[in-house]
Chain A
Amino acid sequence: MTDLHFLTIAEASAKIRAKTLSPVELTQAYMARIKALDGELNSHILVLEDQALAAAKQAEADIMAGGWKGPLHGIPIGLKDIYNTAGITTTGHSDLFKDHVPAEDAFTVKCLRDAGAIFTGKLSTWEFAIGGTSFDLPWPPARNPWDLSRDPSGSSSGSGAAVAAGLCTGAMGTDTGGSIRGPAAWCGIAGLKPTYGYLSRRGILPLSFSLDHAGPMCWTSEDCALMMQVLAQHDPLDAANANVAAADFTAGLGSGLKGLRVGVVRHFFETDLSTDAETIQALENALMVLRDMGASVGDVTLSPFEVYGDVGSLISRSEAFAFHQAWLRESPERYGAYGRQRLMAGAFIAAADYVNAQRQRAVLVAQVAEVMKTVDVLVFPTARCPAREIGEDSMASGFQPFFNRAFNVTGNPGLSICNGFSASGLPLSLQIGGRPFEDALVLKVGDALEKAMGTRGRRPAFAC
């Protein structure tokens, strides 16, 4: 029998619904795991043991009384610590916010709470989702469970590490420039950056208003679909939230990929940015599997990846500075060095350059839409290489490990899945992009690949 802590949401939910697994038993299993492993993994800023066990007891009572609410009822979920939680600190992993106690839950937290999810803890992040892997903050940075000397990436670092190590069944992350998909890639899990506006951002500490996305991070694409089923609710108080009828994110799972048109953005990883050989070989293997499942596969051309990087950097740094400027001027010492430097840099962008970046962004959105008239999904690696040593400061050194920015700039959905393992045992990754609001199709492709390639049977040795 699978250890309780390695059950997927789908598996645990089926047992809970059948009353063969108690949410209390499941939550206790995770609390024991956190106590045993998180001293080294550092995935949690705050463990919500008392609240989680109380909620689990309530869920158990409700379910035993015939009040099963759905697939997330009684499921332990971790929250990146930039999601507001009523009455519970939301620190942004920063000294500046270490005593910040919101009065209300973020909208997405409320969605999860109403669905019966159990919150196990507030998870590590890069400071305010931008600061990089830092050692000068009130809490240490999360580490990669596949190799504790490696970086889990960020900014949803604790979410990626905790899910991969079996410290929660699923987690919430956020993604402004790749912060869900990067840790998903390096920690070997599934992470969805939904279509911009599909999920509410209200009650999440902002980084960049027009690039921020909330999204699920789970062991499987199927679990991300189960979370999206609850999360995709219209929030009229979030200016960017689209008022669209939510898809059924699980309905298409398992129905095959015959006739799917796959566009490979080959120039990203062959011309634009050098990519390691194992990552490219794993991508070619996945393309063969897609062909075997009846998909047609061909190359497509977008703008060079650097264009997305330039546009994304100008917009995200400008918007982030707009939010942080008062604190940066009044109390810069309360930030870690990386966060302070990266946020201050936004002060030097001219208004005209910000506007022109938004004009170029409109061109890129239209270009991707045009290409996606000819294909149903886009694929390329999520990461150019497996996880790097912790402490290597990618941003300061100019090394960009990921191909994530494109879909933050255009708003298209992007899913990172585990695409096998390197010879050294580190996860490799694949990204699947779709048309706006076709997140369900992206999840369907991810689910099909995970099942066909059999990547979900291997967990980090540290966690076993």
Chain B
Amino acid sequence: MTDIPFEDRVKAASLNPKPEDVAKLQALVIDLDRSATQVRGPRSYAEEPLSAFRLTPAK
């Protein structure tokens, strides 16, 4: 997969960080990208997100 330059990702997100923010922002994003790889493993379709919710009938 082609790596997208970080500056392009920032533009695509419609963000305009200060120039002095960019290196720290990129470091934080690299850390989140690493976290994301940890939740991408194969899963059963039966594994539902915690945000699935339960309605109760009207009384």
- Interface of A toward B, CB cutoff 8 Å: 210, 306-307, 309-311, 313-314, 317, 328-329, 332-333, 337, 340-342, 344-350, 352-353, 355-363, 365, 395-396, 398
Contacts and interface: CB of A to CB of B under 8 A. Distances in A.
Contacts of A356: 39-40, 43, 49
B35 interface: yes
Given A210-B50, A348-B13, 6 more contacts: A309-B35, A310-B38, A317-B32, A355-B49, A357-B35, A365-B50
Given A337-B21, A353-B40, A329 B15 contact: yes
A358 B51 contact: yes
B43 A359 contact: yes
B59 interface: no
Contact of A341 (B14, B28, B35, B51): B28
A165 B47 CA distance: 47
Contacts of A210: 50-51
B2 interface: no
Interface residues of B, number: 29
Contacts of A396: 24, 27-28
Contact of B49 (A310, A332, A340, A358): A358
A311 B39 CA distance: 8
A353 B32 CA distance: 10
Contacts, number: 97
B48 interface: yes
B29 A348 contact: yes
A313 B31 contact: yes
Contacts of B16: 329, 332
A344 B15 CA distance: 8
Contacts of B43: 356, 359
B54 interface: no
Interface centre among B18, B21, B40, B50 (most CB of A within 10 A): B50
Contacts of B49: 355-356, 358-359, 361-362
B36 to A, nearest CB: 4
12 contacts: A313-B31, A314-B35, A337-B24, A340-B18, A340-B21, A341-B24, A347-B13, A347-B15, A348-B9, A353-B36, A356-B40, A362-B47
Top 6 nearest A-B pairs (CB, nearest first) are: A358-B49, A310-B35, A345-B28, A353-B36, A347-B13, A356-B39
Majority DSSP secondary structure for residues of A touching B: helix
A332 B27 CA distance: 19
A332 B18 contact: yes
A249 B58 CA distance: 33
A138 B33 CA distance: 32
Contact of B20 (A337, A344, A361): A337
Nearest to A314: B35
B46 to A, nearest CB: 10
A254 B49 CA distance: 40
B17 interface: yes
B50 A344 contact: no
A266 B38 CA distance: 22
A340 B40 CA distance: 27
Contacts of A329: 14-16
A349 B47 CA distance: 20
Contact of A313 (B13, B32, B47): B32
B14 A361 contact: no
Contact of B31 (A360, A362, A398): A398
